Amino acid sequence: MPYSESQKKATMKYMEKAYDRLELQLKKGMKEVYRAQAAAHGMSLNAYIISLLEADAEKKSD
């Protein structure tokens, strides 16, 4: 079944309420390098970046 316009609006409203967005600027070509690095760990690039940030925060709180 196709994704309806009302479903799209509801999803966008939820995402706006539940999540913050962060934009990264990378040198040309680095996105694919980082994406491959994340894939090597079995993660999406987003999940990999978050895991690195959380690990760093945890290390600093110890």
Tens of pLDDT, residue by residue over 22-37, are: 999 999 999 999 999 9
Is residue 48 a contact partner of residue 36, using CB atoms and an 8 Å limit? no
Domain ranges of the chain: 23-62
Structure tokens at 10: 């509801």
What mean pLDDT value characterizes the chain? 95
Q: Tell me the percentage of the chain whose pLDDT exceeds 70.
A: 100
Cβ-based neighbour number of residue 59 at 10 Å: 8
